[in-house]
Amino acid sequence: METGTSEFKRTAQSPSIAYAERGRGETLVFLHGIGGNRHNWEGELQHFGGTYRAVAMDFRGYGDSDAIEDGFEFTDFVSDVMRVLDSLGVQKAHVVGLSMGGLVAQALYGRAPECVASLALVACRAADEPVLPPARRETFIRERLEPLRVGGSEALAVALAPKLLGRTASVEARDQVMASLRKVRPEAYFKVMEARMRVAPMLDPGTVQVPTLVIGSDEDQVAPREQMRALAAAIQGARLKEIRGAGHLINLEKPQEFRLALEDFLSGLKDR
């Protein structure tokens, strides 16, 4: 077990899911993207741990969680989240998902809406259209899998990091993104990408009935702001926040703006 903000626990069932938590209060769960891990959220755990029970987890195949087994389906990630909630003894949580994590958050609501107090969907696709259109799909797959096949996770980090970051990303943000991509397990990434590209629609956004925050950015090459605007418009009552000067990994590039937007949204829920 690591120390400091990286200290983690594991769920009992197999595959065992690693998660870190900080603080007490209402539970706030953070879900990472396809090239991420729970460490992407350490700043959020520190910030929100003063007010909430902030939790970040590694999906199976990532970080300190068990490997992905044969027969994997994308929606198995939903089982990972529910397993962590069960391990925590939590019946309902605020759920924050970035990119792939945003799809998992929507799928979780589709399967178990009673477990979701609110949604924060960051730089992601809508769950009713989870697969990229053909014109973008081949490029998306090629940009990610070819470097991984040729040079492993280091090549993936070098090739992909510039596409995930905004034009003025700080050195710290670049280092965090590179470190995250270097920790990708190639065998897991291939399995996740294959499942990700064939997943069926998981949720009609129009059926979401919990408070929802949608966060996009103006320099995101993966989830363009027009896409995030459309997602927000499809969810009744959703709040849209656009953060300027950030690429895809908004919380790493613009941490203060991201945390302020999420904090403002969550604070508003307490007044209801």
**CATH number of the domain encompassing residue 114:** 3.40.50.1820
Reported as a pLDDT band with limits 50, 70 and 90, residue 4 is: very low
Q: In the prediction, which pLDDT does 6 show?
A: 57
Token match 């069932």: residue? Answer: 13
Question: Position 36: which residue type?
Answer: G
Query: Quick one: residue 86, left, alpha or beta (phi over 0 = left, psi -120 to 50 = alpha)?
Result: alpha
Range(s) of the domain holding residue 145: 4-270
**Total structural domains within the chain:** 1
Q: In the prediction, which pLDDT does 258 show?
A: 98
Mean residue pLDDT of the chain comes to 95
State the SS3 of 174-188.
Answer: HHHHHHHHHCCCHHH
Six-digit token pair at 165? 């970051």
Reported as a pLDDT band with limits 50, 70 and 90, residue 3 is: very low
State the burial class of residue 78 (Cβ atoms within 10 Å of its Cβ: 0-12, 13-18, 19+): buried
Range from 39-43, 48-52, 183-187, 268-272 carrying the lowest mean pLDDT:
268-272
pLDDT, mean of residues 119-141:
93
The DSSP 8-state label assigned to residue 71 in this structure reads T
Indicate whether 119 pLDDT > 70: yes
Reported as a pLDDT band with limits 50, 70 and 90, residue 2 is: very low
